[in-house]
Amino acid sequence: MELSSTPPSNIDPAALRARFTALPQNSDPADQVQLARINLGRQLYFDKRLSRESNQSCNSCHQLTNYGVDNKQYSPGSMPGAIDTPRNTPTVYNAAFQLSQFWDGRAVNLIAQAHGPLVAPKEMALHNLQEAVDIVARVPGYAPEFRQAFPGQQDPVNIENITASIAAFEQGLITPSPWDRYLQGDTAALTPAQKKGLKLYLADGCDTCHAGRDMGGISYQRLGDVYRWGNKSDPGREKVTHSATDFMFFKVPTLRNIAKTGPYFHDGSVPTLTDAIHLMADFQAGQTISDSDAASIAAFLGSMTGTLPASYIAAPAEPPSGSQSAGQSEGNKTSSIRESSGGRS
Ligand code: HEC
Ligand code: HEC
C-alpha cells in the first residue's frame, strides 16, 4: 500500500467515531457497597492463597503494573512444572468491553471467566471451587469485607460473590490513551508518524476486525483468513461450538496496549509487534506491506498504550490468615497449604 510522502492531513475524529469509540474514564463507584465490592475484588485478585501451592494469584500472570500480562509465551502455573499451554496470557485491561472472554470466547463475561483460572489444573490448580470458598472462609479478615460488599446476605462467602467481586475490580481496569484524546477531537494527540500509521491501518483494512472501543474484542474471525496459519494444534472456537466452520476462529484480540503485551497471537509465537503486523497483513488481508509501513502502523498502535491507574492497582495488604483466631479444624489446613509454598514467589 503506497501513500504519498507529504505530511499527513488529519482524519476527522468525528468520522472515525463511526468505527471507533473512546474508552470511558474509570468513574467513581456508585455507592459504598460497590466500593466495598471493588476493594474486596482487588484483595482476591492479589491473594496467592487462592492457588494449590499458595504461590499464585491472578496478578502472577496478569501483572497489573505490566499492562496485565507477564510477557511470556506461556505462563507457568501454580504446580511446579505446569505450563499453561498452548495459549498466551491476554491482558485484563479493558477486558470488560469485549463480547466475551478467553481466546475462544467460552466465557460470556468476567464473572463467568473468573471461575476458570481458580480450578484450571495448569493455572491456580485448586481441586474445586468449594476449595476457593473454604480458603477465603478461613481468613478471618475477609468475613467483614464480604458483609460490607454483600449486605443483608446470610452467608456472603460463596463462589458467586468471590467471582462477582473480582469482576467488579476488573471493570475498573481501563487505560485511556492518546488515541482516545484523538477520537475525542484533540488532533494534536497523535504524532505525524502515528497519523501516517492510522491511514495505513485504515487502508489495509485492519479496522474491519480491530475496531470499536477495544480495537478488537467485538467479533470472532478465522486466523489465516486469506492464507492458512501454520500452527493448527489449537482449533480455537470450534472447541466451544463444536461446529467445523469455527475451526481456527479466535476472538479478535484488543489492540489496546499492544506495544506492551507481546509475545503475540494465541500461541504467543511472534515476539515483535512489527512481525505481528506483517503477518496480519499477509494472513488476514492478503497483502505484503513494506517494513516502513509496518513501522508506521506500529507507531500508530503505540498511541493505544494507555495510562495505568496507579492508585487503583496498588497491591493491598493481604488479610492475615490468623491461624490462631480461625480456631476451627480447617485452620490447620490453611497453614499446611501455606507452608508447602516453600517460599516460591
Ligand atoms: C497461570 C497464569 C494465569 C493465572 C494465574 C490467571 N490467568 Fe487469566 N488467563 C490466562 C490465560 C493463559 C488466559 C487465556 C486462556 C484461554 O483463552 O483459553 C487467561 C484469560 C483471562 C481472561 C480473558 C481475557 C480475554 O481477553 O479474553 C481474563 C479476564 C482473566 N484471564 C482473568 C483472570 C483472573 C481474574 C484470574 C484470577 C482469578 C486469572 N485470570 C488467573 C492465564 C492466567
Ligand atoms: C479478518 C480479521 C482481521 C483483520 C483484517 C486483521 N486482524 Fe489482526 N487479528 C485478528 C485475529 C482473529 C487475531 C488473533 C489471532 C490469534 O492469535 O489466534 C488477530 C491478532 C492481531 C494481533 C496480535 C494481538 C495479540 O494480542 O496477540 C495484532 C498486533 C494484530 N492482529 C494487528 C492487526 C493489524 C495491524 C491489521 C491490519 C494490517 C490486522 N490485525 C488485521 C483478526 C484480524
pLDDT (tens digit, 0 to 9) for every residue of the chain, 345 residues total? 445 455 568 999 999 999 999 999 888 898 999 999 999 999 999 999 999 999 999 999 999 999 999 999 999 888 877 765 579 999 999 999 999 999 999 999 999 999 999 999 889 999 999 999 999 999 999 999 999 999 999 999 999 999 999 999 999 999 999 999 999 999 999 999 999 999 999 999 999 999 999 999 999 999 986 666 778 889 999 999 999 999 999 999 999 999 999 999 999 999 999 999 999 998 887 888 999 999 999 999 999 999 999 999 999 998 888 754 433 433 333 333 333 333 222
The two most distant CA atoms of the chain are separated, in Å, by: 75
Within a domain: 307: no
Residues labelled catalytic: 123
Q: How many domains does one find in the chain?
A: 2
Within a domain: 86: yes
* Grid cell at residue 66: 505490566
CA 234 to ligand 2 center in whole angstroms: 16
Q: Are residues 124 and 189 part of one domain?
A: no
Q: Are residues 160 and 69 part of one domain?
A: yes
Q: Which of 74, 91, 92, 174 has most ligand 1 atoms within 8 Å of CB, for mutation?
A: 92
Query: Is the Cα dihedral 208, 210, 214, 217 positive or negative?
Result: positive
User: What CA–CA distance (Å, rounded) separates 8 from 191?
Assistant: 10
The range of the structural domain enclosing residue 71 comes to 32-173+315-339
Q: Are residues 120 and 102 part of one domain?
A: yes
User: What CA–CA distance (Å, rounded) separates 45 from 282?
Assistant: 38
Q: Are residues 298 and 201 part of one domain?
A: yes
Pocket flag, ligand 2, residue 284 (CB < 6 Å): yes
Pocket flag, ligand 1, residue 221 (CB < 6 Å): no
Tell me the CA distances in angstroms from 29 to 33, 64, 109, 143, one per residue in order.
9, 20, 20, 21
Alpha helices in 142-242 (DSSP H): 142-149, 159-170, 178-183, 192-203, 238-241
Element (H, E) at 249: strand 249-251
* Grid cell at residue 255: 489492540
Burial class (CB in 10 A: 0-12, 13-18, 19+), 172: middle
Reported pTM: 0.92
Q: Are residues 135 and 59 part of one domain?
A: yes
Pocket flag, ligand 1, residue 68 (CB < 6 Å): no
User: What CA–CA distance (Å, rounded) separates 123 from 294?
Assistant: 35
